[in-house]
């Protein structure tokens, strides 16, 4: 089977990139090539792509903005389906926001602000898409997706398009039912409240100031690199282990915020992975706590 010809039966040629360097599509700005990167423009194309790839046993991975993803230097042998590029529409009706999974959280927050809606300010600085945020129950500054989501439209593992209400999502700390059952989030409905636009803007500006002052936004990274261990903070454990500024190749534990691994100087994915492993080992040796990656790692070993 010629996989390229089969892909072209579902999407147009300009929606397919061959041998695509994934450092262009991840916020880490590192990683190898994907055999194919496909950018579907609607739910039906996502469904047909997944059904084809499953039928032909072709490895695939569904990504959003690449803000929580690292592709190994050896690349991804198969097809990466990128939702963010062409499935990012946002619609506001009263206090309800309808958005496709590829919509950036920052753009949803900006649109909510423009409509005088409050409740989504916490997500304004998270550099990801709605799909990834729902799957991981993303949160910051005391807010999380669990507080605002009504339902999500998904492609189930059986290939059906279904609407899942929030009370069936099992939303917890950086997890949901979607992280376990392999359903693909296509869109979601959010419920906010009317507020004072000036107050909303002021709060968003305040959160932005906190991020700029405390996070190493000037370097490529995937945000918080490790999950928060129960009863601890990953960044503090790393700092207390004496690892502030610890470097492997071009990858470094940020001197500004130890919870961030940054691409300081043309780091490879191997540099980043080696640093993460060494940090986990050193923290475990000192405190008996094993740090687990929050960033998703895919590709050939």
Catalytic amino acids?
174, 224, 294
CA distances (Å), origin 7, targets 18, 20, 34? 11, 15, 15
In sequence order, the β-bridge partners of residue 175 are: 172
Q: What is the DSSP letter of 67?
A: T
With residue 213 as reference, give the H or E element that holds it: helix 197-214
With residue 185 as reference, give the H or E element that holds it: strand 184-191
Across the chain, which distance is largest between two alpha carbons, in Å?
A: 58
Pairwise CA distance, residues 111 & 100, whole Å: 14
| DSSP H helical ranges for 62-177 | 105-114, 130-135
Residue 47 structure tokens = 């469904």
């Amino acid at each position: 089977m010629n996989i390229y010809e089969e892909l072209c039966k579902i999407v147009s040629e300009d929606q397919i990139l061959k041998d695509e360097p994934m450092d262009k599509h991840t916020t880490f700005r590192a990683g190898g090539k994907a055999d194919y990167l496909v950018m579907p423009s609607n739910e039906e194309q996502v469904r047909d792509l997944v059904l084809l790839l499953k039928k032909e046993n072709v490895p695939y991975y569904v990504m959003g903005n690449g803000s929580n993803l690292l592709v190994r230097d050896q690349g991804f042998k198969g097809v990466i389906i990128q939702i963010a590029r062409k499935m990012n529409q946002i619609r506001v009706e009263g206090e309800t926001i309808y958005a496709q999974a590829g919509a950036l959280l920052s753009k949803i927050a900006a649109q909510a602000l423009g409509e005088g809606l409050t409740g989504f300010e916490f997500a304004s600085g998270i550099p990801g898409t709605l799909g990834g945020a729902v799957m991981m129950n993303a949160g910051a500054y005391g807010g999380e997706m669990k507080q605002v989501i009504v339902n999500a439209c998904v492609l189930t593992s059986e290939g059906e398009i279904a609407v899942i209400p929030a009370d069936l999502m099992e939303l917890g700390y950086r997890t949901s039912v979607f992280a376990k059952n392999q359903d693909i989030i296509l869109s979601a409905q959010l419920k906010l409240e009317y507020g004072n636009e000036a107050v909303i803007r002021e709060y968003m500006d305040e959160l932005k100031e906190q991020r700029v002052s405390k996070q190493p936004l000037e370097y490529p990274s995937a945000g918080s690199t490790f999950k928060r261990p129960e009863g601890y903070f990953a960044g503090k454990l790393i700092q207390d282990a004496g690892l502030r500024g610890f470097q492997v190749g071009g990858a470094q534990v940020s001197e500004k915020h130890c919870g961030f691994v940054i691409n300081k100087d043309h780091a490879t994915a191997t540099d980043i992975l080696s640093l993460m492993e060494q940090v986990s080992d050193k923290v475990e040796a000192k405190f008996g706590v094993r740090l687990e990656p929050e960033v998703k790692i895919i590709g050939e070993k």
